[in-house]
Amino acid sequence: MATLVTGGTGFVGANIVKELAHDGHQVVSFDINGPDNLLHHFLGDSPVTFVQGDIVDRASVVRLGQEYQIDKIVHAAVYTVNREALEKERSRDVVAINLEGTANLLELARTQQVSRFVYVSSGAAYGSALSGDQTLNEGASPEPENLYGITKFASEMITRRYGQLHGLSTASVRLSTPYGPMERVTGHRAVMSVFYDWTGRAMRGESITAEDMGEGRDYIYISDIADGLRTVLDAPSLPHDLYNLTTGIWLTFQQILDAVIELSPATEVITSSPTVKTGNEGYSRGPLSGHRLFDDLGWIPKYDLKLGLADYIQWRQDSNFLD
């Protein structure tokens, strides 16, 4: 029996594929992009079947069910937009990929009568709040503000209803902001994390410009995300169908920069003038709460900031990934 991972050559998807393959799953990766040398190096000798195709193309998704006996699905394929200009330019693509693609995968789950369908969602479903606000648990009212967050929340609701109607075990998992191996610029991902930017600059011997250092996010190392998703996927039963996947810890850019410099002390830091903010510019949601996932399934993250950052830098060095 196969476990299907959509978006399996992307940032989050590649890490899910690696985690599941190492855990003994017979993984089929379905992505519009095929694997490249960096992905093959990342996966090592993990046995993975790669199928190239588009989740919006219903016929391609149907063929997956004809060619493979699929028992579980992790739906991680997504069009990520975090800039308004890109959101305006690619509005139709965001809706098509994030909603029509989800519907196609749920139909596949229905026809295959899979034992578990996990939808990879995002903290963007909550919308924005002032940083430092109380942590957001799964009972908080979602107020997504852009097409990415809106389509994520809508896909959660569609996933839940499909499960109810067709007797499927489904769950949606809202991720905190990930960082780590395989983060890179792609056609569906254009804006990178400060971890990607600053570790790359440090490795290339370039200076880092420090600005807006009081801002931050509840970052989580990508290996913890893959481990948490596997835990939800393989749980014998799920008391809930919605989980946050997070460390629950807010990290400021200053804390992250300090950790980078501790590991790369020769890196020059240039301090810029503070950015003037107006209106809601610069605001972001508070950290997510991970209590439900711990209470239900006993899951806790394995990586703190220093451990995750050291592992990430080591991977970049081993892979000669300097971009």
pLDDT for position 280: 37
CB 3 within 8 A of CB 20: yes
State the pTM of this model. 0.94
pLDDT for position 241: 98
Amino acid identity, position 184: R
Coil, strand or helix at 317: helix
How many structural domains is the chain composed of? 1
Range of the domain at 73: 2-180+221-248+287-302
Question: What is the rounded (10 degree) CA torsion for 125, 312, 290, 189?
Answer: 10
pLDDT for position 188: 54
pLDDT for position 89: 86
pLDDT for position 41: 95
**Residue 228 located in a structural domain:** yes
**Residue 323 located in a structural domain:** no
Q: What is the CATH number of the domain that holds 31?
A: 3.40.50.720
Segment 198-201 long-range contacts (CB within 8 Å, at least 24 positions apart): 198/256, 198/257, 198/260, 199/260, 199/264, 199/309, 199/312, 199/313, 199/316, 200/316, 200/322, 200/323, 201/267
**Residue 120 located in a structural domain:** yes
**Residue 210 located in a structural domain:** no
Residues 73, 273: Cα–Cα separation, whole Å:
47
By C-alpha distance, which of 6, 56, 31, 319 is closest to 183?
319
pLDDT per residue of the chain (323 residues) written in tens, 0 to 9:
999 999 999 999 999 999 999 999 999 999 999 999 999 999 999 899 999 999 999 999 999 999 999 999 999 999 887 678 888 888 998 899 899 999 999 999 999 999 999 999 999 999 875 455 578 999 999 999 899 999 999 999 999 999 999 999 999 999 999 999 999 987 555 568 899 999 999 999 999 999 889 888 999 999 999 999 999 999 999 999 999 999 999 999 999 999 999 999 999 999 876 654 433 334 467 899 999 999 999 999 999 999 999 999 999 999 999 88
**Residue 255 located in a structural domain:** no
pLDDT for position 190: 53
